[in-house]
Structure 1
Amino acid sequence: MTVLRLARSELKRMTGGLLPKLTILALALVPLLYGAVYLYANWDPYGKLNQIDAALVVEDSGAASADGTRLEAGRKVAESLVDDHVFNWKTVGSTEEADQGVSNGTYAFALKIPKDFSANLASPGSFDAANQAMLNVTTNDANNYLLSTIVDKLTTAVHTTVAKEVGEETANQLLTGFGTIHTQMLKASDGAGRLADGVARLHDGTVSLHQGTGELKSGASELYNGEVKLRDGATSLSAGAAQLSGGLTQLKDKTAALPANAQQLADGAAQVAAGNAALNTAMQSIPGQLAAANQAAQQAAAQGQRSRVVASTGHLVAAGVLTQEQADAVVADVDATPAPAAPSPAAAASAAKLQTAATQVQKLADGSAAVSAGASQLAGAAPALSDAVAKASAGADQLASGSATLAAGQQNAMDGAGKLVQGAQKLDDGAAQLETGAATASDGAGTLAGELAQGAGKVPNPDDAQKDSLSKVMADPVAVSKVSQAKAGSYGAGLAPFFLTLALWIGVFMLVQAMRPVTQRALASNAPAWKIAAGGWLPFLAVSAVQASLLTLVVDVGLGLDPAHPVLMWFLMLAAAMAFSAIIQGVVALLGSPGKLVVLILLVLQLVSSGGTFPWQTTPEPLHVVHQILPMGYVVSGMRHLIYGADLAIILPTMLGLVGYTLLGLAMSTAAVRKNKYWTLKTLKPEIAV
């Protein structure tokens, strides 16, 4: 009995009636029910997001941007979302209404733009009041778990777009600020140059100042010495003023009676003047009287009248003009001389003496009149003199007091002059330091001017085109250049390698529900075990090949998978069907009904370890071993390369590996044939019927 005859016999049995044919057809369509229908349902879910209702709340009140324009970022974001129509956005009036809608399932989620959205976007213009702008999202996993992930991607995209726009504006303002800094630094450099010139002139001035402070120090020393001498003189003045005050006091006491005495003197002088005047009058009459006396004498001589001469000389003696001896001489002369016709020489001499005496009396009268006038003036001036002496005494007292104060002030002035000397010394020292500092400042100002000029050259001063380019780079400094060596065209295409492989395993697994791994008739023959095993496997291979071909055709043509290598993909599907059918047939043939549970366990293990959705490296470490041992992971990787157009280097090793899994399945099937060649009571009456 050949392998083909065994296989044909089993196929004829399976297709002997309408129901078996329908069963085989249904089994052939099982992978379509799982793989194609699932991929159809999830072929492009992201393209249908616009059928999902989402609440949109815009409370942004806008803000003034740094350039004075009105920033309405919230409104622009809302309009952009509605125009993109990624979701079916429903504008809602309040946050509470949107949250309630998400809670009861009216909306899948809610995106809320708060009142201060624009204000916070504009806030980086003020360093002390910068705040992040917030987009508030409300989701509910009870509506759909994956929807939260999709919404996160959406809000991230919105965040990136808004941040880029605002970042460009902020960067533009920053670059404009650099230009302003550049201009101002140039101005500062010019100012620093002028400062350097000014400091140089300041240095020259400090040199002059130092010279002046040196002269001030010398002058202060001379002033101090002069103040010492002045203090000594003021002390002497104070002592002399005190003595003057004492002397004037004594003078005032001595002259207190001067007015009365002067008045008495004036009165006495007046009396003397009056007496002198009377004497002068008498003296003026004496010559006449003498002439008369002479004539009388002559007459007396002639007539003998001696008595008249005696009487006249008596009057003169009484008046004090003649002494008694002169009068007696005159009388004697009269007596001795006879009466001549002319005056006698003696009488002439007496007359001359009398004339001289009269002249002296006249001068005495004039002098006494002058004395009387002076005494009167002295008497009139004496009160004023007394007052003046009193005032002089008071002034001397004040002079003494003032000179004492002056002496004390001069001491203070001397102390001040001493301090002035010290201050002048310090000022001179400070001027010297200032001169040194000014020289240093002059050098520093020159260095500052040079460094500012160099710094201004290093500060960027971009033009409008440069600012536009740089602001874009600063707002979005990292651009991702994606080079997709192999790219899935849709979400369904991304899941196709996993679900096609999984559907093929499930389809083959369903075959053991209606097909026998090894027939009893074949076991009863004397054919070799490997032929019986191969004959039992070939019907599984034939049906699984039909499953793989139908699944590939429907997915490629019906769903539009459009693989990069469709023929090679079909061959890989056939190779996978070959390996899966051999393994499943061999396990069930070897273990019987418990083998079906083993096949199911293998399915579960491969579901979680093949890397159909997340990379297999993300699974727990024990599952890494399962991925390396079982075939589904290799088929998934190979399908991805063939569908997306990646490197085909792994296809041959994958094919060879599937051949190896096929041989392993046939080996298990051969072992099962050899085992079941020997019948036992358990064989005739198994615990669980296959």
Structure 2
Amino acid sequence: MSTIFKIYKRDIRKITTNIPLMIIIVGLLFVPALYAWINIIASWDPYGNTKGLLVAVVNNDEGAQFQNLEINIGREVIDKLKGNESIGWTFVNEDEAESGVKYGKYYASITIPEDFSSNLLSVAANGEPKKAKLIYSVNEKINAIAPKITKSGLTSLQNEITSSVTEEVSSTVLNYMNAYGIELERIKPQLEELMNIINDIDNNLPQIGEGINNAYNGAVDLNNFIQNIQGNIPNITNSLNNAQNAVQSSNDFFTKANDTIKNISPYVRTDLATVKANSAATRDALSSINNSIDTDVKGQQDILRSASTKMNNALSAVNNDINILQSVNNILHSSAISNFINKMQNIRDQLVQNKLNLDALITTLSNGNKISSDAVESLIQGIDKTSQLIDDSINNFDSAISPAINSLVNNTTNMANNSLTLLESAKNNIPLINSLLKDANIGTDLGAEQIKNIKDKFPKTEETIHSNVEKFKSLSNDEKFNELTGLLQKNTKDVSDFLANPIEPVQNRVFPIPNYGSAMAPFYSTLAIWVGGFTLLSILSVHVEALDDVKNLGTTKMFFGRFLTLATLSLLQAIIIVLGNLFFIKTYSVSPVILLIFSMYVSIIFIMIIYTLVSVFGNVGKALALIIMVLQVSASGGTFPIQLTPKFFQNISPMLPFTYAIGGMREAEGGIIWSSLYYNIGILSIYFFISIIIAVFLKEKMNKKSEKFVNRMRESGLVGE
């Protein structure tokens, strides 16, 4: 060991006392760092400048008509794109777009054809629906990545258009449903008049029955009785005709409204899902605040205000559903619906409390004070409790509320149908009664037997009319009319917005890294450490001169003596690279100390690998080190995921030191999983010991075998010493 350290001390002394050599060494220390810094800065935020990618937009849409409304989806798309800065949207005519894409002025173009709106709205019209087209032209010659980004913009635009069309169509349909509710409210006086007519008919039936009884009991007064009854028959017939027309009109209306009312249950259920999504989003926002409780007060205020808005939306949805369900239950008197309403009220009370606590946090921040972690945690627990209540309500929803609402629709429709059957039956029986009375009037001498025949048939007719009239009377209940109209007149804007955007994605970032440059730092730092080691071995010699006081150095001692010198320089390179990343270009790292230590460890492993190759194989070893570096750039997963590369690179990836060096740096940068870090350290150590074994057992043999070959190369004057 003393000989090894003597070689090391002599190398250090020569470096520190030889000014030209020191200048070169300093350059060698900083060149790899510059390589890493320049590449990291260049890739710091490439997707943050996509507004510089010019995409031409051409709108040829002629619009369309839907339910007497003029709709131009193309114009709406253009208006939205004018406020979108994710890509450099440029609005031109068709000739300019074609020429600009061809000659590289625009990376791509999107053309909205003339029939765009009409095809989108064909789904709501008669006949087969037609898919609308967006004509996308791209110049792939200009750049390899730009077409992918512009195509992503096309996909986002397609989703935006789909959402807009869904919202437009559903809003129109819901407005018609709302109009039905208004119409029902408008015809309420006519329905009440219909009930008065039906009551008159029902009230006249006992009089007719009494007359028949009197005729049966007193044949002498039969003639006067018949005249009295015949005088009432036209009035009864007119009343039945009027009632039949009114019931037919109402029945047509209820038939049209039937499907609309049945859609109430899905709306209530989706409202619950929306409330749960808003609560989950609020909880995630509070969790993110709790992780940075002492920093970014302005960001906390924005997050809390956004959470407050979501909480208000949730409260509005729950209150709306409670009112609807309470109205339905006033008709059905269902204990299951009552229990469900109680649960909804509990959810509302919990949401109100959460809203108050959320507003208290906003007030604290507005007053310039910091919010406490305990207050945030308490609010998170309250939201968790609310989410549990919502889950219980959703699980109970289908069995509790849907059957009751369907029952309301079916009963209402059945009553209208039964009433129509009742009136039709009564109307059909009037000719029979009239005929009997005429016969009695013509032949009052037919006697008590024929009058008894009339008397026996009349109770059945009276029972049929009276039983159905009682069912139809339920339609006159003011409260039931009000509930039906309330269900039909639901807020169309909220429902159409939900149909257009039924899902609100919530992103959960595991080990978040704030920018693309920081994410690429492990790859470029690893590559810079290898380049630094390769540069050292390209300029500095692996040949060790003899020591004055040591007669026989030995191959192994010379190897390790020079290795200490190279390892020291490589460590300095790694330190400069990492410290420059952290403090000069300010890359992100969860554990800067671990990152620095691991990078120094990687530098020792890399310099040992490269030094062994050059020391054992000479210039061939330098070529091998360069080839290995080239393979590692493509097969280490430093840029693209390794799964996206060809099978050859996927197969060699586990055998390359870059794979584990980058993996360990990513742990220290984004968040450490210690088992993964230990694994990377362990695998890298294998390369270190394999390099030592190769050097110890092959260096002397390979140097002797290649001595003549190297001398012949040097004779050419093209190869250095």
Find the counterpart in structure 1 of residue 48 from structure 2: 47
160 and 507 in structure 1: CA distance in 2 versus 1, 3 angstrom threshold: same
* Equivalent in the alignment of 2:307: none
Aligned mates of 1:658, 1:514 — CA distance in 2: 26
Amino acid of the residue matched to residue 3 of structure 2?
A: T
Q: Does the aligned pair in 1 maintain the 2:73–2:165 contact within 8 Å?
A: no
Alignment gaps of 5+ in structure 2:
181-252, 259-408, 437-463, 476-482
Tell me the residue number matched to 1:138.
137
| 2:566 counterpart SS class | helix
Q: Partners in 1 of 2:431 and 2:38 — Cα distance? A: 99
Deviation of the 1:107 alpha carbon = 2.2
Correspondences of 1:512-591 after superposition (within 5 Å)? 512-521=537-546, 526-527=552-553, 529-591=555-617
Give the corresponding residue for 1:670.
696
Partners of 1:532 and 1:670 within 8 A in 2? no
Is the 1:53–1:106 Cα contact (8 Å) retained in structure 2?
Answer: yes
Give the structure 2 partner of residue 215 of structure 1. none
Secondary structure of the residue that 2:111 maps to in structure 1?
strand
- Equivalent position to 2:257, from 169, 174, 184: 184
Q: 1:119 to 1:12 in 2, by over 3 A?
A: farther
Distance 1:578 1:206, change over 3 A: farther
Cα distance in 1, alignment partners of residues 571 and 706 from structure 2: 35
Question: Which residue is equivalent to 1:71?
Answer: 71
**Sequence identity, in percent?**
24
- Shift of the 194–603 alpha-carbon distance from structure 1 to 2, 3 Å rule, reads same
Distance in 1 (alpha carbons) for counterparts of 2:551 and 2:490: 93
Distance, in Å, in 2 between the alignment partners of 1:646 and 1:77 is 45
SS in 1 for 2:136: strand
User: Aligned pair in 2 of structure 1 residues 669, 469: CA closer, same or farther (>3 Å)?
Assistant: farther
Q: Residue 497 of structure 1 contacts residue 640 of structure 1 at CA under 8 Å; is this kept in 2?
A: yes
Structure number, greater radius of gyration: 1
User: What is the aligned partner in structure 2 of residue 610 from structure 1?
Assistant: 636
- Give the 3 Å change call, closer, same or farther, for CA 482–195 of structure 1 in structure 2: same
Q: What CA distance in whole angstroms lies between the structure 2 residues aligned with 1:580 and 1:652?
A: 18
**1:8-58 C-alpha deviation (Å, 9 max, x unpaired):** 323444565343223222322332343221221221122223334332323
The answer to whether structure 1 residue 7 and structure 2 residue 8 are counterparts is yes
| Preserved contact between residue 178 and residue 460 of structure 1 (Cα < 8 Å) | no
Q: 1:518 to 1:167 in 2, by over 3 A?
A: farther
Contact 1:63/1:118 (<8 A) preserved: yes
1:480 to 481, 486, 505: 505
Aligned positions, number: 453
- Residue identity in the other structure for 1:43: W
Contact 2:525 2:577 in 1 (8 A): yes
| 1:517 match: secondary structure | coil
Find the aligned partners of 1:26 and 1:536 in 2 and give their Cα distance: 20
Asked whether the 8 Å contact 2:40–2:521 carries over to 1, the reply is yes
Deviations 1:67-122 (A, max 9, x none): 72x43433333233332333444332x21221111111222322333333334444
| C-alpha distance after superposition, 1:416-442 (max 9, x if no partner) | xxxxxxxxxxxxxxxxxxxxxxx9xxx
Mapped contact 2:574–2:599 kept (Cα < 8 A): yes
| Residues 589, 672 of structure 1: 8 Å contact kept | no
Cα deviations by residue, 1:584-625 (Å, 9 ceiling, x for unpaired): 111221222111121122112222221112222333444334
User: Is contact 1:501–1:636 with CA below 8 Å preserved after alignment?
Assistant: yes
- In structure 2, relative to structure 1, the CA distance for the partners of 1:14 and 1:152 (3 Å cut) is same
Report the Cα offset of residue 543 of structure 1.
Answer: 1.9
Q: In structure 1, what is the equivalent of residue 158 of structure 2?
A: 159
Return 5+ residue gaps in structure 1 as ranges. 212-438, 451-456
Tell me the distance in 2 between the aligned counterparts of 1:67 and 1:556.
63
Q: Deviations over 1:542-573 (max 9, x none)?
A: 22222222222222223221212212111121
User: What is the deviation of 1:130?
Assistant: 3.4
CA contact (8 A) 2:542 2:615 kept: yes
- If the length of structure 2 is used for normalisation, what is the TM-score? 0.55
- CA spacing shift, 1:95–1:654, aligned 2, 3 Å: same
**Closer, same or farther in 2 for the Cα pair 1:201/1:642, shift >3 Å?**
same
CA distance in 1, matches of 2:494, 2:6: 78
What is the match of residue 23 of structure 1?
24
Give the Cα–Cα distance (whole angstroms) in 1 for the partners of residues 522 and 654 of structure 2.
18
Change (3 A) 1:469 1:673: same
Give the conservation status (yes or no) of the 8 Å contact 1:586–1:672.
Answer: no
Tell me the equivalent position of 2:114.
115
Q: Which structure carries more relative contact order (alpha carbon 8 Å, separation 6+)? A: 1
2:561 and 2:431 map into 1 onto residues whose CA distance is 119
Deviations 1:149-173 (A, max 9, x none): 0101112122222222322233344
Kindly state the Cα deviation for residue 463 of structure 1 after the two structures are TM-superposed. 5.1
Q: Report if aligned partners of 2:167, 2:496 keep a CA contact under 8 Å in 1.
A: yes
Matches within 5 A, 1:383-398: none
Matched, 1:85 2:111: no
Note the alpha carbon deviations across 1:464-488, whole angstroms, 9 max, x for none: 34x5454344323443321111223
For normalisation by structure 1, the TM-score amounts to 0.57
Tell me the distance in 2 between the aligned counterparts of 1:615 and 1:482.
21
